[in-house]
Chain A
Amino acid sequence: MNCSKIEELLSPYIDGELSRDEIIRVERHILECKNCEELLKDFQLIKEKVRGIEIPQPSLRIKKKIIGYARPRNYFLRIIFSTSLLTGLGALLVLTLGHQPYIAEEKPKEYYIMKEERTPYMEILYETEGDYILTNYEGGSL
């Protein structure tokens, strides 16, 4: 069998599309013909390379778009969904604006001072029987 006839069978050979008789014919020829053997090797290499091409995944955006077209549009559910979404957002807004930040009230410092140093301007907290009284007066000029 001549080379051109065998060449026609090389693609179906590597694709597993030949009959048993044809496979035998190709294999016999290849044992004797370097050119056809080379061509067969190249075809096999090309097959591997094409199969090795990385096909990217379609993006999520396009998937959503297509599925979105296909999904039934339930307007009743949409209204419920958008109403509850708006209510939720409104509640969140009210909570955020209405919230007063907690500021810890500073407890006035307390001091003990000598009883005889007491003046009418001093805020007396607790008068003791001893020489000292408990006051908020920090001192300084009054």
Chain B
Amino acid sequence: MKLEIELIYKQYVDYIYGFIYGMVQNKAVAEDLLQDTFVKVMKSDIDKIENMKAWLITVARNTVYDHWRREKRKLNLMPFVRRKRRDIDLKLDIERGIEKLSPKLKEVIILREINQLNYEEIADILDVEIGTVKSRLNRARKELRDSLGG
């Protein structure tokens, strides 16, 4: 069981971390969430998992959403938290554009472009219809186009 976790880490770390980083766009936060994701994986009965790739992304996705919920609560308590200027400046326009997307549009574009999943796989992970994936991707790309000044 323990060795299986090590194998899962080696095989899927780039895939999971790519998704988490794409969602939060901050290395330190992404690393913390990667760790949280693996702690959850270790506590699960992985022998029963049929589609490991999809399941791992689901765990990572839940971890990211939990993080956002915690952050939102914190921000409600501290409304004047400012981001470091350096963090903002180093980002590419496209990254800033992704940051502005709503979580639903963000995850669909990350799953498609960073994780390179097809529509069916995305629909499975998000538990939505393929038509919803298509329309969310279209909306995400249009919003990105607008934010890039296209």
Contact = CB atoms under 8 A, between A and B. Distances in A.
Contact of A58 (B30, B92, B138, B141): B30
A63 B6 contact: no
Interface stretch (B15-23, B53-61, B64-72): B15-23
Interface residues of B, number: 38
Interface stretch (A6-14, A82-90, A108-116, A129-137): A6-14
B75 interface: no
Interface in B112-137: 112-114, 118-119, 134-135, 137
A142 interface: no
Interface in A33-62: 39, 42-43, 45-47, 49-53, 55-59, 62
Interface residues of A, number: 32
Interface string B3-29: 101100100011001100110000100
A55 B9 contact: no
Given A15-B119, A67-B6, A42 B38 contact: no
A43 B134 CA distance: 13
A65 interface: yes
Interface of B is mostly: helix
Contacts of B62: none
A58 B9 CA distance: 11
B17 A47 contact: no
22 contacts: A7-B138, A8-B135, A10-B138, A10-B141, A11-B141, A12-B119, A12-B134, A17-B118, A39-B145, A42-B141, A49-B92, A50-B94, A51-B113, A53-B98, A55-B17, A57-B14, A59-B31, A62-B35, A66-B35, A69-B39, A71-B6, A72-B3
